[in-house]
Amino acid sequence: MTSLLYSSTKDADMYYLTKVQVADPFFALITDSQTFIFLDHREYGVFVEKNTNPNIELILVNSLLDRARELAGDSTVVQQLALLIIKEYGEGNTIAVPPSFPLLLAKFLERQRIIINVQQPFFPNRLTKSMQEVQAITSALKKTQIAFTYIENRLAEAEIKGDFIVGDTGEVLTSELLSQEVEHVLLEQGMKNEEGMIISCAQHAAIPHHSGSGALRPNQTIICDIFPRDTQTGYFADMTRTYIKGDVSTVLQEMYDAVQLAQERAIKLIAPGVPFADVHAACVQTFIQLGHKTKDEGFIHGTGHGLGVEIHEAPYVSAGSKATAEIGNVVTVEPGLYYSELGGVRIEDVVVITKDGCKNLTNYPKVLQIP
């Protein structure tokens, strides 16, 4: 079946296909024997220079655009261009499109008697990573770890003064300040902060996706969740550590130990053929056994998600997941506990499923207390 995409490479499926950054939307058509990319003069040369896929045939689209303009009438140039591409390069009048395919374009093509099938996932191979992809994610994680080392050193060099953590030059450490500094560290490593980051403390740490704001407080948990994209490969890292600058109370230590145990049990369970819902259930059961809540507060999110050219992609490690672990899946394992009166704790590593179980790609220490 012929497949058709129309988007920029901000769309994960288009980037997965091309591995080249193209800012404006363009067409890609895939047949059983060939992949065609249609670009104008603005990006044609860039793509020729950077494309490494020998199966892609690049088509300079200008002459097709001229014909599309002549045919446009009440339709748009893009609509007519899509129709010309399907008729001249496709195989038959049935095409598969990703869920992100523009709705108005799909309706136009259907009026032209093109049968459209929405395919999800559009590229099933995205679910299992190649060795090269695993290497790209591992490299992204190693670069991201430099940011965590920076955070740990920054907290270690700081002093506690009253209810504040004060840096070695007298500045109060805040979520905003540390986030800005971390972003600079990431940029130096060729990592881009496209999706934001989380450096949250105290009551903000009790809200899993709170990015954090205001002063970081001593003796309370600081969740650092950093998930940048490698500008060279386009693959994401995703890593979380929880720190306390100062004294660790018994209850916060217990929370941390519970999260770490849940993560260890989940990672030990992951292997080919194991349902991801069972992995999540193992975390839930661990927390229940230790007296923690798993509804409304406590453990209130899924255990993990796939990682690749998107920060969140299939398969998902959650209660509702229908997926079973396969060799080559790369997923996060990130249980957490969240209580409004105590704060939050989360620890996140990335694993790849192997024939014998799974391998932890993060390979970075887990340290709670920063004296």
- What are the pLDDT digits (tens) for 130-156? 999 999 999 999 999 999 999 999 999
Confidence band for 47, pLDDT divided at 50, 70 and 90 = confident
Q: Report CA 29 to chain centroid distance, whole Å.
A: 26
- Asked if 270 contacts 358 with a C-beta cutoff of 8 angstroms, the reply is yes
For 181-198, the pLDDT digits (tens) are 999 999 999 999 999 999
Domains of the chain, CATH where assigned: 2-122 (3.40.350.10), 127-370 (3.90.230.10)
Which token pair is 270?
């992951």
Residue 83, Cα to own-chain centre: how many angstroms?
A: 34
317 — pLDDT class (breaks 50, 70, 90): very high
CA–CA dist 299, 302 (Å, integer): 8
Q: In the prediction, which pLDDT does 342 show? A: 97
> What's the average model confidence in pLDDT over 23-46?
92
pLDDT of 335 > 90? The answer is yes
Amino acid occupying residue 241: R
User: Which residues are within 8 A (CB) of 259 and not within 5 positions of it... i.e. 6 or more apart?
Assistant: 242, 335, 336, 337, 345, 346, 347
CA dist., res. 124 & res. 319, Å (int):
22
* Predicted local confidence at residue 43, as pLDDT: 85
Q: What is the pLDDT of residues 218-247, one digit of tens each?
A: 999 999 999 999 999 999 999 999 999 999
Helix (H) or strand (E) holding 115: strand 115-118
User: How far, CA to CA in Å, does 70 sit from each of 80, 84, 211, 309?
Assistant: 9, 12, 50, 38
Q: What tens digit of pLDDT does each residue of 340-365 get? A: 999 999 999 999 999 999 999 999 99
d(CA 104, CA 6): 12
